[in-house]
Structure 1
């Protein structure tokens, strides 16, 4: 049955400059924990069906599709605009086994037991009802299939140079996410979330994986995305409208600090993500 609840909005929005970090993600740098399971299942059944929820511009979806050339990947996102970027990327990279469809993760428009693998990356952290979303993903997963999740824990940020405005930014983005109904520390709670969704503990395989941004290109990608969210994104609007404790001058200083971090030849940033593979 479709949910009638009004859920929270996605604060970062979909401007390319605000989500350029999403286009950096690939199966190799953001879903490595899933690849052994994907490859093992593909050996048994080359015609796997994989659903990627909240796929955004589709860089992970497209790279996952390359691992199952005889299978099918369906990439979904709430935004019709951004999911079309996934279709364009697939075409540009010659990937013919990927389809896109605008869809709400709470109300996935697919029959029960439709997919061998259901994947979501940094989706549940933004949601006000993550258990409900996970139950929706489990519904469309076949018995014996897997649901694979990777989510951030905002407490686990580490960066150099240790610029105070960036420390304040970490506090700010955490508060923005939680004030919007999201879950900034959900990464470490993924096994608990799966158990709340009714999965026995023995069917939950947990791990942790890190992102590290240190090259000039990586710093421009990550720091530029965070900077632009501060300058003219939905994040800035939310901070001011909800009076979260930081003003325009504070956010301008944070944006300047991101530029300083980008320019620092020894700049490095790391963050830890929780991961689970749930066997249905």
Structure 2
């Protein structure tokens, strides 16, 4: 690792920030990993998986169903509060999931595990919040065993596609990206993911690259996503930071809230978000 770094999740873990995270599952947010997880599970009956920046643990717990009978998955995060929520979620999935899944506090910059401790290391929407993404990837690769994989997925906040084409939604997208950058994060993570992996030491021939999408259009998905964005505009760190930096005004916030309310109520509403995806096959 280069220099001294502290991992900080600037948006925090207020329900307005994390509610929409709990929509995420292995199927809608880590599909690029599943075939590799199944393949490695056949080869390694005691498959060891590390899920870095697990948050509420919904992806962690749903990945567990793809493990071999003796496989395990450990989720990490830097917040004790969100890890408590993740443990509750895993326990609610039943005893089979609960016995496979555990959680531990840890920073991606300094993972408290020996070299090669895991067969699969996964991170979803973690690097975009970091000032030094390549250093984090290098640390994840360190704890990945030879023959295993490092699986990463990052949204690109410059690549949204929404209908109806409301000015308030376009301004919200810019606000979200600008605040992320102001917090020291990366707004273009999806398109830069490969470059970070190569900077971390990967050889190009060992890396699979692709793009996946999230689509929010069903009524329940619109309510979950749009409602969470409205809550963030009313009470979240993004609102406070945007106003503090002069990126947005109170009037602008209200216009964005109205746009999200209109979007939630529109039967023809869609929102597509592009995510970069990488599988680094470790030698």
Same fold (TM over 0.5): yes
After superposition, give the CA deviation of every residue in 1:103-153 in whole Å (9 maximum; x if it has no partner).
111111111110000000001011111011111101111111110000011
* Residues 1:18 and 2:26 aligned together: no
1:4 maps to 4
Is the Cα–Cα contact under 8 Å of residues 118 and 146 in structure 1 kept in the other structure?
yes
Corresponding residue for residue 88 of structure 1: 88
TM-superposed CA distance for 1:51, in Å, is 0.3
What is the Cα deviation at residue 37 of structure 1?
0.6
Compute the TM-score of the two structures, normalised by the length of structure 2. 0.95
Separation in structure 2 between the aligned mates of residue 34 and residue 237 of structure 1, nearest angstrom: 36
Provide the alpha-carbon RMSD of the alignment: 1.4
1:139 aligns with 142
Task: Tell me the SS of whatever aligns to 1:33.
Answer: coil
Note the C-alpha offset of 1:2. Answer: 9.9
| Cα shift readout 1:77-111 (whole Å, capped 9, x = no counterpart) | 11111011111111111112000011111111111
| Alignment CA distance shift 1:3-1:198 (3 Å) | same
Residue in structure 2 matching 1:250, options 247, 252, 268: 252
Deviates more, 1:75-84 or 1:235-244: 235-244
C-alpha distance in structure 2 between counterparts of 1:206 and 1:166, whole Å: 29
Rounded to whole Å, the distance in 1 between the matches of 2:135 and 2:149 is 17
SS of residue in 1 equivalent to 2:267: coil
SS at 2:109's partner residue? helix
Does the alignment pair 1:148 with 2:167?
no
State the TM-score, normalizing by the size of structure 1: 0.96
Determine if contact 2:16/2:236 at 8 Å carries over to the other structure: no
Superposed CA deviations along residues 204-242 of structure 1, whole A, max 9, x for unmatched, are 100110100001110011111111111110111111222
Q: Name the count of aligned residue pairs.
A: 278
Instruction: Show the counterpart of 2:276.
Output: 274
The SS at the match of 1:276 is strand
Secondary structure of 1:82's match? helix
1:173 corresponding residue in structure 2: 176
Which stretches in structure 2 are left out of the alignment for 5+ residues? none
Residue 62 of structure 1 corresponds to 61
Structure 2: how far apart are the matches of 1:130 and 1:51?
A: 18
Gaps of 5+ in 1: none
- Asked if the contact 1:12/1:229 (under 8 Å) is kept, the reply is no
Question: Is the Cα–Cα contact under 8 Å of residues 2 and 135 in structure 2 kept in the other structure?
Answer: no
1:103-114 to 2 correspondences below 5 Å: 103-114=106-117
